[in-house]
Amino acid sequence: MEQQGFKEWDLLYDIEDDSTLFFCNHTKDDILKNPSNFRLATENEFKECPPRVFLTKEQAIDCLPEGDNIHTFLSPNKHMLLGADESREDIIKYINNDEYRVEIGGEQCRSYGHGLVLSCEDRPPIFIEANEGKLKKYDVIPKFE
């Protein structure tokens, strides 16, 4: 699976987002849309900005907890958190909406049990309650070599 000079599991630096990520199956489409936005990351960039792990829609839905309602929260500004229960059906609609990208959240949101993050360009991220055991299955980040 070599495309545009990048190989699966290469650590890339996203010039536009100023972040690192791995080139793997679930990010291939984003990278191939505009390969000039990416280059191989350096070891310092990896240490300073851990890579983002994006999920496919199917993987994200697999990580949802059981039940008809799922808790979410978002932070419209740095001083406020808003939380609400959403129907499982609505969460799945959000995940399937092509405006959103789904990724595994960082340490803090995962410690709250909300390890799925839906991000969209013009809205604050939505942190979604997730099954941590299933998230771990997809959170496979190889070591920098």
What residue segments make up the domains of the chain, in order of their start? 10-51, 55-138
Report the alpha-carbon distance of residue 86 to residue 12 in Å, rounded. Answer: 34
- pTM of this structure: 0.67
Report the alpha-carbon distance of residue 89 to residue 96 in Å, rounded. Answer: 11
Do residues 100 and 94 make contact, with C-beta atoms less than 8 angstroms apart?
yes
Spatial CA neighbour of 117 closest among 54, 49, 26:
54
What is the tens place of the pLDDT at every residue in 88-117?
999 999 999 999 989 888 878 888 899 999
Q: What angle do CA 20, 142, 32 make, to 5 degrees?
A: 45
Do residues 134 and 46 make contact, with C-beta atoms less than 8 angstroms apart?
no
Report the alpha-carbon distance of residue 36 to residue 106 in Å, rounded. Answer: 27
What is the tens place of the pLDDT at every residue in 56-68?
999 999 999 999 9
70: which 2 tokens? 């799922």
